[in-house]
Structure 1
Amino acid sequence: MPESYGELLKKAVCSRLRRVLVAGGAGFIGSHLCDALLRDGVEVICVDNLSTGSYANISHLQHDSRFSLVIQDAEHELKTEKDLDAVFHVASPASPEDYMRLPIETLRAGSHVTLNLISLARANGARFLLASTSEVYGDPLEHPQPESYWGHVNPIGPRSVYDEAKRFAEALTMAYRTTHGVDTAIVRIFNTYGPRMRVNDGRAIPNFIAQALAGEDVTVAGNGRQTRSFCYIDDMVTGILAAAVSKHSGPINLGNPDERSIVDLARTVIDMCNSPSSMKFVERPTDDPTQRKPDISLAGEILGWCPSVSLETGLAYTIAWFQATARQLD
């Protein structure tokens, strides 16, 4: 019987990665990435200042001898006693509430932290993977968005601290690749969701689930006709690992091209939560993108990757996690 994509990827990870550093490893995506790496037999050094990450996300890993946690800002000098095969940079506030609350820290995550981490990768001869974002495309004028699209971004708007931080991080990564020969990869992450998202994260799915489970009005920005494409966390981590063990520099879009309107998402969440909630329409944020859908042709061609978890299946897992977390807090 031919090996599955997951089995082939695990073999590639095991053969190429022995020890890695994950900056932002206590965050939503970072903690799931740590889980996957450990499952594949990789030693993981997790670095996080816990500004938006949480110890609860990685507490279950503390008894694994291959896992170590360093609580510090990745902007400061990082020393490792052993050589690294890869450095993953997933350290940044990512939700609008977080990066608007921490604007300077977000800009430093894209600049100072990127410089520090890519320098560490260079010193170790390690592969450096930058977790960039679909936000580099801004409010796109091209749809769906391919990697060749340069974007439509307001450089001084309220979202600019995140958008421009990631755009700078991409430029810095490419400069180190061309100038110093650092082995680099850039992945552009489209909206990702799943267990371990914070209730007060501020993004659509955790907001809608928390409100629906509480029987509160589900707040929809604008008329709700703006669209997004939501990728379940397991699919996203698989894509990140595939990029990490490839030879491709990117940028590579990672996301689920199943495009949904925000109002349809709200209705789906309310129905799946069996909630009495109604929708409440509120003012739409400044520079909120009208549409967002990844062209993942390159990921399919280069990585052989495509998402496999449907929105409804992923939402069911995520709702169950939110319900279980709420019971633990009661």
Structure 2
Amino acid sequence: MIQSIWKMKKVLAILLALSTLSFIVYLTIGRKNVGSIHKYTSTDDLYVKEKTKLLKNDLQEAATKIQELEEKLEILETRIPKKYPEVKFLNYLKKKRILVTGGAGFVGSHLVDNLMLQGHEVIVVDNFFTGRKRNVEQWIGHENFELIHHDIVNPLFIEVDEIYHLASPASPPHYMQNPVKTIKTNTLGTINMLGLARRVNAKVLIASTSEVYGDPDIHPQPETYWGHVNPIGPRACYDEGKRVAETLTYAYAKQENMQVRVARIFNTYGPRMHMNDGRVVSNFILQALQNEVITVYGSGEQTRSFQYVSDLVDGLVALMESNYTLPVNLGNPVEHTINEFATIIKQLVGGHSTIKNVAEVEDDPQRRRPDISRAKNILNWEPKVSLNVGLQKTVNYFRKELKRFKHSHNKSSNFL
């Protein structure tokens, strides 16, 4: 069956190529004839126009038939047994039933990959506000995988052993788009997940953020620092939402004697980032790939430290498996200014982009770098992927995404 589908695909490609080629040849011959003005008449002109019109109609009809065949091929492909990545076999004593909220998002989907490959049963809950089914499509249909379209602002009743609570918009444009929803997700949503964990006696890991430190007065930021946050600024819906989520977590832990974990996640990048999430990495890479101006907000002297997504996932899993309950920073302590970062990406991508400074963003932290001593000592964890290696993988991903977007756009447009 697979061979027959490949043959049909080849036939479609050949038909499309022949149709296009015949049209080009016809137009070329027509143009040469038009050049012989002394032999050319108005009747010939009408004849060529009519034939061109008919040929265009034939090509349009051929394109429609090819599209119909492609749709039939897609239906046939769904009937082929799906091949999944090879997963470990775990017996019933070691196999866990794990819930990942926001599991179709950027970080969540990479965590799902890790847990699935370990051989666990994984349930993804996502409302697809920023998550995408395509991020987890490689697991859909697998016996260990379940995908639930659900908003955790509403209660959820399932049986699980562990909960990774990652659900929340994480980039400024996304969490500022609907600030009330962001606060609800991080408060009501967290209450619902803590309530579920209490009911089924599950371990729960809350994904907090470096934003709880605000625009810090201490550098680098240790977990003991209480933060410097504007409670009514444009970022407060996310910053304060996460701070309340941490407060709720420890209130539940103390009152209900629950097993809780809190990860304070610093800037993370990698494949499956949203193309329009407004973060530094995605913005700079896309602008460089399209030879656009690379825009740096403010002076560009503000600093960030970037960790590759696989390092973060390793840290989250290590934290869940540990017996440590206090907050833990997960980030890369190697610090760069935004200007340096823009230059690194420009050199990595190539092209003709220029770097331009524009007006700064309100409440944008000036310095951000984690103190990861606790993660090193307690979890034996630190980032492994270098910036150049991680950025190259991310650039390759965005390059493919741009091609995919252009291909989809061209396919949806008219044939001619």
TM-score by length of 2: 0.75
When residues 297 and 15 of structure 1 are mapped into structure 2, their CA distance, relative to the original with a 3 A threshold, is farther
Partner of 2:194: 118
C-alpha displacement of 1:77 = 2.0
Aligned with residue 79 of structure 1, among 143, 157, 174: 157
User: RCO greater where, 1 or 2, for CA within 8 Å and sep 6 or more?
Assistant: 1
Q: How does 1:7-26 map onto structure 2 within 5 Å?
A: 18-26=96-104
Residue 5 of structure 1 corresponds to: none
Q: 1:211 aligns with which of 277, 287, 311?
A: 287
Aligned partner (choices 199, 217, 222) of residue 146 of structure 1: 222
Deviation at 1:250, TM superposition (A): 2.1
2:212 maps to which residue?
136
1:216-248, Cα deviation, whole Å (9 max, x unpaired): 000101110000000000000000000011111
1:29 aligned residue? 107
Does the 8 Å CA contact 1:17/1:86 hold for their aligned counterparts? no
For structure 2, list consecutive stretches of 5 or more residues without a partner in the other structure: 1-87, 408-416
Q: Which position in structure 2 is the counterpart of 1:276? A: 352
Q: Give the structure 2 partner of residue 6 of structure 1.
A: none
Residues 1:142 and 1:178: Cα distance change in structure 2 (over 3 Å): same
How far has the Cα of 1:64 moved from its partner?
Answer: 1.6
Match for 2:122 among 44, 67, 89?
A: 44
Provide Cα deviations, 1:281-327, integer angstroms capped at 9, x if missing partner: 11111110000000000000000000000111100000011111222
Query: Which letter maps to 2:373?
Result: S
* Equivalent in the alignment of 1:301: 377
CA deviations 1:188-239 (Å, max 9, x no partner) are 0000000000110100000000000000000101110000000000000000
* Partner secondary structure for residue 186 of structure 1: strand
Would the aligned equivalents of 1:16 and 1:85 in 2 still touch at CA under 8 Å?
no
Q: How far, CA to CA, are the matches of 1:123 and 1:203 in structure 2?
A: 37
Provide Cα deviations, 1:93-133, integer angstroms capped at 9, x if missing partner.
Answer: 10000011020111011100000001111111110100000
Work out the CA distance in 1 between the residues paired with 2:89 and 2:379.
14
Residue 172 of structure 2 corresponds to which residue in structure 1? 96
**Are the counterparts in 1 of residues 125 and 148 from structure 2 also a CA contact under 8 Å?**
yes
Aligned counterparts, 1:151-300, within 5 A: 151-300=227-376
Partner SS, residue 223 of structure 2: coil
8 Å CA contact 2:107–2:309 kept in 1: the answer is yes
Structure 1 unaligned blocks of 5 or more: 1-9
Correspondence 1:64 to 2:158:
no
Q: Equivalents in 1 of 2:281, 2:378: separation in Å?
A: 30
Shift of 1:61: 1.3
In 2, Cα distance between the equivalents of 1:300 and 1:273? 33
Q: Identify if the C-alpha distance between structure 1 residues 307 and 15 changes in structure 2 by more than 3 Å, giving closer, same or farther.
A: farther
The amino acid of 1:26's aligned partner reads A
Secondary structure, aligned partner of 1:288: coil
Q: How far is the alpha carbon of 1:11 from its aligned partner?
A: 12
Shift of 1:76: 1.3
Report the alpha carbon displacement of residue 16 of structure 1 after superposing the two structures with TM: 5.9
- Measured after TM superposition, the shift of residue 275 of structure 1 is 2.0
The whole-number CA distance in structure 2 between the counterparts of 1:77 and 1:99 is: 21
Question: Structure 2 counterpart of 1:217, which letter?
Answer: V
Distance, in Å, in 2 between the alignment partners of 1:256 and 1:24 is 23
Fraction of identical pairs, as percent: 48
Higher-Rg member (1/2): 2
Q: Secondary structure at the match of 2:393?
A: helix
8 Å CA contact 1:191, 1:230 repeated in 2: yes
Structure with greater helix share of residues:
2
In 2 relative to 1, CA 255–224 (structure 1 residues): closer, same or farther, beyond 3 Å?
Answer: same
